[in-house]
Amino acid sequence: MTMRTNLIEVYIQEVTRRLPEKMRSDIALELRSTIEDMLPNHHTVEDVKDVLNQLGNPAILANGYKDQPMHLIGPRYFDVYMSLLKMIVPIAAVVSLITIITKYFIGFSGEEALLNSILSLIGEGIWTLIQVGIQVFFWLTITFALLERFDKDKEQLPLTSGLEKWTAEDLKNVAYISKKKTISKLEIFGSLMWTAIWVTLYFYANQIIGVYEGDGGPLEFVMPALNQDVLQQYGLIVLIIAGLEIAFALYKLLKEQWTKRMAIGNTLLEVISTIVFIIILIKPNFLSEEFVVYITNLFTITKEQFNVWLIGGTIIILIITAAASIYDGFKKANIR
């Protein structure tokens, strides 16, 4: 008798321990009376086992009572989850890579062997990518698993990325993308990388841009070419431009293709940044004095000639690349 009772009690306990406190006693009572109903009057241990087998796995029974999903992310959220994952992972990867490369440039003293530095950079890069991937995956999954559990709206229809039910109106937001106007991930990666590189060069110009000398031995940084004080004066506005560039790159990543609005935004960005850089370039003490002296001695040209040649040349290159980028943007936006 005890053996039989014991089996039943253990079964009931296995069910109820998985349930919220307030449901337990009522369900235990009902289960016990149901099991006794199912048993013949004079029953054996085998009868009890038979009945419990009919009721099945206590975990499944308990889950039925809880009315909660036995999955992390169900069909309702899976689509949104996947598209967010695909969008956030590359962004996080790019941002973290840029951080590493920037750190590398700042820390690069020129003393270590270049090959070693590059190898350790690659190693650190791969490791960081793995970490970032795991982090993004973890937090996004946690978020959606919680959403799945706390969403009281029990409608089982899958949601669109706006977390709304899909209607035909949504098609308006999904433009048909022709191959020629699409923006590749590589392009976005490239532009983010470029931003990181020029910002680094700008703020660490007195350690990176300048004259290097080496008599057969390792190169040594002799003198900076630019006047860091002048650059620092424009630091804030340059940072704003860099921020705008990053924002624009992320906007391109979201839109996936060139649009008129994007081309206009690109134009504004190019015009503003070109103007700002020209203003910085034509500052009289933009080039450091010692650098100008060094060059004029080296190439036997006058100070003015050198200024015109370098500053003028740089301005022309700036304007040409900006114009090319503006033209390219409108050309791609106009493709049907």
Partner 1 sequence: MSNLLNSLKIELRRGTLTLAVLSQLRTPQYGYSLVQSLEGAGISIDQSTLYPLLRRLEKQELVSSSWDTSESRPRKYYVLSEFGLEIFSELKKEWINNSKELYSLLGEGDDDENEFN
Rounded to whole angstroms, the Cα distance separating 207 from 224 reads: 7
Query: Measured from the CB atom, is 66 or 331 closer to partner 1?
Result: 66
Query: Measured from the CB atom, is 52 or 287 closer to partner 1?
Result: 52
Nearest to 185 by CA among 282, 235, 255, 242: 255
CB of 54 to partner 1, least distance (A): 6
Per CB under 8 A, contacts with partner 1 among 11-70 are: 26-27, 29-31, 33-34, 36-38, 54-57, 60-61, 64-65, 67
Query: Measured from the CB atom, is 62 or 263 closer to partner 1?
Result: 62
Query: Measured from the CB atom, is 28 or 92 closer to partner 1?
Result: 28
> Do the beta carbons of residue 257 and residue 175 sit within 8 Å?
yes
Sign of CA dihedral 146, 152, 156, 157: negative
Taking the C-alpha atoms of 90, 261, 268 and 270 in order, what is their torsion angle to the nearest 10 degrees? 50
Q: Does 8 bind partner 1 (CB under 8 A)?
A: no
CB of 254 to partner 1, least distance (A): 39
Rounded to whole angstroms, the Cα distance separating 336 from 175 reads: 11
The packing angle between helices 2-16 and 21-38, to 10°, is: 140
Query: Measured from the CB atom, is 27 or 280 closer to partner 1?
Result: 27
Contact pattern from residue 86 through residue 125 relative to partner 1, giving x for each residue in contact according to CB under 8 A and a dash for the rest: ----------------------------------------
CB of 35 to partner 1, least distance (A): 9
Query: Measured from the CB atom, is 22 or 86 closer to partner 1?
Result: 22
CB of 244 to partner 1, least distance (A): 53
- Any residues with CB less than 8 A from the CB of 59 and at least 6 apart, and which? 14, 18
> Do the beta carbons of residue 68 and residue 149 sit within 8 Å?
yes
* Structure tokens belonging to residue 258: 């060139």
CB of 123 to partner 1, least distance (A): 48
Helices then strands, counting H and E runs in the chain, come out as 14, 2
Query: Measured from the CB atom, is 54 or 300 closer to partner 1?
Result: 54
Q: How many residues bind partner 1 (CB under 8 A)?
A: 19
* Number of Cβ within a 10 Å radius of residue 48: 20
Q: Which positions lie near partner 1, rule CB under 8 A?
A: 26-27, 29-31, 33-34, 36-38, 54-57, 60-61, 64-65, 67
